[in-house]
Amino acid sequence: MKCLVTGGNVKVLGKAVHSLSRIGDELYLDPLEDGLSLRTVNSSRSAYACFLFAPLFFQHYQAATPGQDLLRCKILMKSFLSVFRSLAMLEKTVEKCCISLNGQSSRLVVQLHCKFGVRKTHNLSFQDCESLQAIFDPASCPHMLRAPARVLGEAVLPFPPALAEVTLGVGRGHRVILRSYHEEEADSTVKAMVTEVCLGEEDFQQLQAQEGVAITFCLKEFRGLLSFAESANLNLSIHFDAPGRPAIFTIKDSLLDGHFVLATLSETDSYSQDLGSLERHRPVPQLQAHSTPHPDDFASDDIDSYMIAMETTIGNEGSRVLPSISLSPGPQPPQSPGPHSEEEDEAEPSTVPGTPPPKKFRSLFFGSILAPVGSPQGPSPVLAEDSEGEG
């Protein structure tokens, strides 16, 4: 693989890497016939991000040399981020960037051509891997918002940098409400400060959502995508369903596609129901009635049989890696604590520091072999489970 990035596109590539670094510690680099794909997933598998740069984004793009198979690799995010650490330096001094992938030497070579003939060469070691593939379909979500990234970026400015989660909802008059989310603790007598921002329907290019619907997701990853979309002056679309189902954030233009898939809180508590001027009793989305399985549907089955490896080999190497398979949650956790089976305990991943917080978000697994009971015929869904075992 060999590609050449010139002009302002070098900074665009650097900003994309900065956005991905907010999510995962490893970067999956996958050169395809349809462009260069950069993907990552966080350690708890509750956030996934993908940028696909079209061949026209590059001055020169060659996915593979004649007679050779397409290579794909996985490298440490910190290693690749160090090349694009200073965005100001990229804009002022770097004229072009050449990226080449050599399978024989197991090296990813990134060469920066700077002013006055200065060249900076970075040799990064990588590991051969299979393609990281998430399964989702924005079109299957009943609710969708689209607005300029600048509008949403200004809306999240009042929230403190340390805030972990934010709740997005639609209130009376189709006002879009963003409110800081804080986990309530029974033994805490200190009330946290709540920040709320309201946006009118006129601020959105498209608003297709029921009044009273609300979801809660991590703010850190959302800010990462907003920062990139604002710099590129792009519109941001938010596709979401009932609480507990992943929210899909998309940006798109003629040269690149971006997808962020973030887990949402599965529990429906009084805090989110009392979101600003939202309805006290939220209507249940119609899609939830037939596509969300009952917890008992999977009680007697091994949860491992509903998961496939996160890293799966793509059948059609030349196809555009923006999957269009519906994503739906796994069985909802019970409202009251109860005993867990040994199989469930083994399937639950270990606690990992960072976002999203444990016991609140669900892990997004990247595939399934069985469809949920009662769901319409279609592609396999992605299942989810608690991101931490018994506390």
Range of the domain at 69: 2-128
CATH for 244:
3.70.10.10
Q: Is residue 345 part of a domain?
A: no
pLDDT of residue 360: 58
Statement to judge: residues 15 and 107 lie in one domain: yes
pLDDT digits (tens, 9 = 90+) for 238-275: 999 999 999 999 999 999 999 999 999 986 544 445 55
Number of compact structural domains in the chain: 2
Kindly compute the dihedral angle of the four CA atoms of residues 261, 84, 38, 355, in this order, to the nearest 10 degrees.
-30
Q: What's the predicted TM-score (pTM) here? A: 0.70
pLDDT digits (tens, 9 = 90+) for 306-335: 333 334 434 444 434 343 333 334 334 444
pLDDT digits (tens, 9 = 90+) for 71-109: 888 899 999 999 998 898 888 999 999 999 877 777 899
Q: Is residue 373 part of a domain?
A: no
Angular region, 212: left φ>0, alpha ψ -120 to 50, beta rest: left
Evaluate whether 50 touches 259 at the Cβ level (below 8 Å). Answer: yes
Distance (Å, rounded) from C-alpha 240 to C-alpha 246?
7
CA 103 to chain centre: 29
Provide the mean pLDDT of the chain: 74
Statement to judge: residues 41 and 159 lie in one domain: no
